Amino acid sequence: MSAWPSLSLLGNPLQNWLMALGWLLLVVALVAILQPILISWLGALSARTTNRWDDALLSAMQGTRLLLVGLVGLYPAVQNLSLPGLTTRWLIGLAAAALFLQVGLWASRFLDFWIRTSRERAIAHDPETATGLAAMSFIARLVLWSLVFLLLLDNLGFNVTTLLAGLGVGGIAVGLALQNILGDLFSSLSIVLDKPFQIGHFVVVDTFSGTVENIGLKTTRIRSISGEIVVFSNTDLTKARLRNYKFMQERRIVFAFGVTYDTPPDTLEQIPVWVQSLIDAQPGARFDRAHFKDFGDSSLNFEVVYWMKSADFTAYMNTQQAINLGLMRVFAQYDVGFAFPTRTVQLQVEQALPFALQRRPAQGLQGLESAP
């Protein structure tokens, strides 16, 4: 019975195989036992503290995979066995791949936790930053897994420098093929960082106007005044002349009207005074100026400028309506007429033009009577 450990199997004593199996079981057992203990301890710690580092570590530990840990255990197990060189390299490479993949999972879950919690806080206070965090999450994952992949290849003995040079050439080709998508992605980051507009802002882009509802990685959706969704690519928005009414503190109003040409000069001189009194009577308005501007084709034109002390469009319309009604009442009181397009044609001759009416004979009827 004492000779059985020395039995040979595939060129290795049975004792070595048992030791290799023991390493595998030991690694898996340690992780299976320690992971719940560590997760329970981190959970209790995170419940007592307000910082998020322990929460992030807890999230990372929950990403442990026993299968990957078992594959990592192949490395110490192989050290006790005498195997063909190719087989040894494959097993060690598999263990290295499992190790880097597990480390990548831990790091990915750690980053995801921070970005997710930051995004949840940003949604309540700064919604457009949440979009930027989503873009940053994509870029962070891309960088992380690219780094893990390159470190794995370097550990396996590949020439990473040559690979990076090849990836650079390929990256140029991919970049040219995806330049529109990449342009929208970086435009999204530009919008989030520069903040020319935010979710909930009322903006005007060319002939389109509406409220920003979502800032995505590629497009931005705006709810127009008529109710439909208008979708813009982020690149178009960064290139367009965009007007953001959210940052408006006061609204400058310019309006004009015309009166008839038969209005007396003294009355014309009083009209700016009447307009100023009407605007001063409005609680949310501040008078700027009112002038007899010019002589129109069919009216004497006035131009009025005043400021609304708030950016509320409804308040502006209510104020303008009150001013218009006040003008109509004042003009009716002083018998001033609003002008409308009219044209007067005057004909003047020095003497009457002579003319005479002659009756032409009905030749057609006579012709019909003399016809056979």
What length is written for the chain? 372
Q: Is residue 343 part of a domain?
A: no
Contacts of 316 (CB under 8 A, 6+ apart): 251, 253, 308
Contacts of 121 (CB under 8 A, 6+ apart): none
Same domain for 324 and 271, yes or no, is yes
CA angle 259, 260, 266 (to 5 degrees): 75
- The confidence band for 191, taking pLDDT boundaries of 50, 70 and 90, is confident
Same domain for 261 and 227, yes or no, is no
Mean pLDDT of 80-93: 67
pLDDT in tens, 11-68: 555 566 667 667 777 777 777 787 778 778 777 777 777 777 767 777 777 777 877 7
Look at residue 180 in the predicted model and tell me its pLDDT: 66
Q: Is residue 283 part of a domain?
A: yes
Residue 324 pLDDT greater than 90, yes or no: yes
Residue 347 pLDDT greater than 70, yes or no: no
Contacts of 42 (CB under 8 A, 6+ apart): 54, 57, 58, 61
Residue where one domain finishes, among candidates 246, 264, 292: 246
Q: Is residue 27 part of a domain?
A: yes
Residue 338 pLDDT greater than 80, yes or no: yes
- C-alpha 58/C-alpha 66 separation (Å) is 17
pLDDT in tens, 140-182: 777 777 787 777 777 777 676 766 665 665 555 555 555 666 6
The answer to whether 189 and 196 have CB atoms below 8 angstroms apart is no
Same domain for 235 and 318, yes or no, is no
Q: Is residue 119 part of a domain?
A: yes
Amino acid at 55: D
DSSP string across 44-101: HHHHH-S-SHHHHHHHHHTT--HHHHHHHTHHHHHHT----HHHHHHHHHHHHHHHHH
Most confident region among 68-82, 101-115, 173-187 by mean pLDDT: 101-115
Q: Is residue 357 part of a domain?
A: no
Same domain for 11 and 110, yes or no, is yes
Residue where one domain finishes, among candidates 125, 145, 169: 125
Residue where one domain finishes, among candidates 191, 217, 246: 246
Same domain for 120 and 167, yes or no, is no
Q: What are phi and psi of 349, to 5 degrees?
A: -130, 155
The boundaries of the domain holding residue 268 are 251-333
Look at residue 84 in the predicted model and tell me its pLDDT: 63
The answer to whether 339 and 296 have CB atoms below 8 angstroms apart is yes
Q: Is residue 295 part of a domain?
A: yes
Q: Is residue 148 part of a domain?
A: no
Same domain for 217 and 261, yes or no, is no
User: How far from each other are the two terminal CA atoms of the chain, in whole angstroms?
Assistant: 154
pLDDT in tens, 243-262: 888 878 888 999 999 999 99
Look at residue 166 in the predicted model and tell me its pLDDT: 59
Look at residue 133 in the predicted model and tell me its pLDDT: 63
**Pair of tokens at residue 199:** 């979710």
Look at residue 371 in the predicted model and tell me its pLDDT: 43
Look at residue 69 in the predicted model and tell me its pLDDT: 74
Same domain for 116 and 169, yes or no, is no
Q: Is residue 30 part of a domain?
A: yes
Look at residue 62 in the predicted model and tell me its pLDDT: 78
How many domains are contained in the chain?
3
Same domain for 225 and 259, yes or no, is no
Look at residue 96 in the predicted model and tell me its pLDDT: 78
Q: In this structure, what CATH number is given to the domain that contains residue 316?
A: 3.30.70.100
Q: In this structure, what CATH number is given to the domain that contains residue 226?
A: 2.30.30.60
pLDDT in tens, 221-239: 899 888 889 888 888 888 8
Q: How many CA atoms lie within 13 A of 119 on its CB side?
A: 15
Same domain for 238 and 260, yes or no, is no
Alpha helix stretches (DSSP H) within the chain: 14-48, 53-61, 66-72, 74-79, 85-125, 127-155, 160-177, 179-194, 234-239, 265-280, 313-333, 363-370
Same domain for 226 and 258, yes or no, is no
